[in-house]
Amino acid sequence: YLPAEKYEYQAEVSRLMDLIVNSLYSNKEVFLRELISNASDALDKLRFLSVTDAELLKDAVDLDIHIQTDKDNGIITITDSGIGMTRQDLVDCLGTIAQSGTAKFLKALKESKDAGTDSNLIGQFGVGFYSAFLVSDRVVVSTKSPKSDKQYVWEGEANSSSYTIREETDPEKLIPRGTRLTLYLKVCRTVEVDEDPVDAKKDEQDDKAEKKKKTKTVVERYWDWELTNETQPIWLRNPKEVATEEYNEFYKKTFNEYLEPLASSHFTTEGEVEFRSILYVPSIAPTNKDDIVNPKTKNIRLYVKRVFISDDFDGELFPRYLSFVKGVVDSNDLPLNVSREILQESRIVRIMRKRLVRKAFDMILGISMSENRDDYEKFWENFGKYVKLGCIEDRENHKRLAPLLRFFSSQSEEEMISLDEYVENMTPDQKEIYYIAADSVTSARNTPFLEKLLEKNLEVLYLVDPIDEVAIQNLKSYKEKNFVDISKEDLDVGDKNEEKEKEMKQEFGQTCDWIKKRLGDKVASVQISSRLSSSPCVLVSGRFGWSSNMERLMKAQTV
Ligand code: ADP
Ligand code: MG
């Protein structure tokens, strides 16, 4: 028999525990969600490893979670038959914070304190295992990993900076595999009160009578198990029978999100490859700016025959510009031990990717058609950059991407319009889609290039995001109408009058030559133009040259 060994928590853990016990009062019930999700993770891990090592299951085939409540004594026990923990795991997992979710929580808590907002952070982030101390004085974790032949007991108390680990020696408490968590609840602590002495005497007599009775009756307790969760994962259910709230709940739980998604899509595909999926568009973009170029977001969880396989993808299921889409995908057609190499080469995966991408587009288009214009505005604000990136990177899907674009225009400076709205608003003779790239709506409005077009009531798109122009140039056209940069030299707005031009050339030809001589290499040529109405002159880009906006961009990149 080895005595319990005492360990100190890592400083961050102590700080977190202190916070939990002393300042987070609301949403206490989240502890249950956190602990059950840990138990469920432990089952997933074991299920995953057992695919390649069936031996792991031998001591207990069933993967389940038992929750026991002992109301009289204020004890809750959560037992799972999952992966368990070794002694070292206990030190690493329950004594330190290596885990990003909790670290994020601490950071957010600090920020919200700085900002003076009183938010429900615990409900938003969860603090994992330590949430047990929201409701418990004492927590005991007895656990057996299949990697170890011993079962260990971790024990911690609220308001203590240390915990202990010992070997489980009570044969009645041994489990074949997994983890048993015992919570000794705070609320059930007996409260001592000063009693009236007369009453106390009477009570004493009652007590004695009570005790006599008690010794006579043998109290037998037994546990009756009741199945509390659905045995079917939500994605296997009929979409018609699942409420929006259920989808949103599932999203929040699965992706550790606190905001509802902007949209969701639940579908089954049949034919060549069969799979089921639920996809979501989050309501905010990831805060980490690198995420737009990093497709490794863990946003898609792949299951094979309901067994969780992986969420570690690098563009296999979605192109990087759609990496913000979250969801689950469950296929019966992939092998359970699917590896990264298989994923990258599999024809099945390629077909899945194609379908998933289409469904994602349908879902986003759905938002754009929603009666509530705010929804799409929100989408655009958060994910517009991703759509533009798509125009540059995914030629194949130009037709699906273009209708999603939004721009300000000379006729809509406050509210962004779609290309469809632009086309609808075209004048009868108009054949092209006009745009001007500038660094803001104000500077776009003030450019002399606009004069003639405004006079003729032609709408001009304002491309004010640096990436806009590149995206538009990649699209080339929309509904067979070419995009035309109004700052380029040969702009033709349909009012060429050759006669008049000839006249003008004769009259001002020499003036042009003189100006060109004076400016020398600073300009390529000096020409007479009919495109201005009130400004005397304008600097334009060559037909095949960079627009001034692009030039500015290139300069910014090379400097
Ligand atoms: P997270 O679940 O986000 O990793 P937690 O604080 O909830 O953070 O848990 C910390 C770690 O403790 C887990 O990552 C896991 O390794 C371990 N753990 C917690 N509960 C269990 C359990 N029931 N079985 C096995 N390991 C567990
Ligand atoms: Mg957890």
Which residues fall within 8 angstroms of residue 60, CB to CB, at 6 or more apart? 81, 176, 177, 178
Residue 6 Cα distances to 75, 136, 165, angstroms: 24, 20, 7
For the chain, how big is the Rg over CA atoms in Å? 34
Q: What is the pLDDT of residues 541-550, one digit of tens each?
A: 776 667 777 7
Closest CA to 34 of 143, 157, 122: 122
Say whether pLDDT at 412 is over 60: yes
- Neighbour count for residue 243 (Cβ, 10 Å): 8
pLDDT score for 197: 47
Question: Which amino acid is present at 6?
Answer: K
CB-count burial class (<10 Å; 0-12, 13-18, 19+) for 105:
buried
Closest CA to 529 of 552, 511, 551, 549: 511
Q: Coil, helix or strand for 310?
A: strand
Q: Tell me if the pTM is above 0.90.
A: no
Residue with tokens 């632009």: 422
Say whether pLDDT at 52 is over 90: no
Task: Judge whether 550 is annotated as a binding position.
Answer: no
Confidence of residue 218 (pLDDT cuts 50, 70, 90): low
Pocket test for ligand 1, best of 37, 47, 93 (most atoms within 8 A of CB): 93
Say whether pLDDT at 119 is over 50: no
Alpha-carbon distance of 155 to 160, in angstroms, equals: 11
Query: 434: left (phi > 0), else alpha (psi -120 to 50), else beta?
Result: beta
**What ipTM does the predicted assembly reach?**
0.99
Give the position, in ligand 1's atom list, of the atom nearest the Cα of 128: 7
State both tokens at 516: 């060109």
Alpha-carbon distance of 541 to 526, in angstroms, equals: 12
More confident residue, 28 or 243: 243
Q: Coil, helix or strand for 3?
A: coil
Please compute the mean of the pLDDT values over residues 235-253 and round it to a whole number.
Answer: 94
CB 417 within 8 A of CB 407: yes
What is the CA 385 to chain-centroid distance, rounded? 16
Alpha-carbon distance of 295 to 316, in angstroms, equals: 9
Task: Judge whether 411 is annotated as a binding position.
Answer: no
Say whether pLDDT at 471 is over 70: yes
State both tokens at 519: 């400016």
| Residue having the nearest C-alpha atom to atom 1 of ligand 1 | 128
Task: Judge whether 84 is annotated as a binding position.
Answer: no
Alpha-carbon distance of 424 to 418, in angstroms, equals: 10
Please compute the mean of the pLDDT values over residues 132-146 and round it to a whole number.
Answer: 95
Closest CA to 406 of 321, 325, 465, 320: 465
| Residue having the nearest C-alpha atom to atom 16 of ligand 1 | 93
Q: Which residues surround ligand 2, an ion (CB under 5 A)?
A: 38, 128
Q: Coil, helix or strand for 299?
A: coil
pLDDT score for 82: 95
